[in-house]
Amino acid sequence: MKLDCLAERTGARIVVASRKVTVSLEQVYAGDRVSDLLNAAGDHVLLVTNLASEHLVRVAELMDIPAICLVGGQLPSEAMVRAAREHGTALLVSPVGLFETCGRIYVTLSDERRGPG
């Protein structure tokens, strides 16, 4: 599923759009430890996290991660937004917490796999 479609269907807002919002996602990883996030890194992975740091954007750039989704309506700092724009990392904000965000993503991706009913 394309990232921009996933954002729309899960209620997430795209704060920083890049050409990567049209990337097709193959995996979603949720977590708050950078070392764990690095293990899941890839060019078709959406990171879902509470970590609102410009350093996370730099990690995403190094690992070719196309997008980060912050949870709980947490607004990224100006430094994080600037870093995301500079490096072409899409940045999303989900209005709900980590658990519900993951649930919404799961339902959305499951619905797509099943196809039209």
Confidence of residue 21 (pLDDT cuts 50, 70, 90): low
pTM of the model: 0.89
What are the domain boundaries of the chain? 3-114
Q: Reply yes or no on whether the pLDDT at 23 is more than 80.
A: no
User: For residue 117, what pLDDT is reported?
Assistant: 55
Per-residue pLDDT, averaged over 7-27, amounts to 86
Residue-wise pLDDT for 48-64, tens only, equals 999 898 888 988 888 88
For the stretch 61-117, pLDDT in tens is: 888 889 999 999 999 999 999 999 999 999 999 999 999 999 999 999 888 777 765
| Alpha carbon distances (Å) from 45 to 62, 69, 77, 113, 117 | 13, 11, 22, 17, 27
For the domain made up of 3-114, the CATH class stated in words is alpha beta
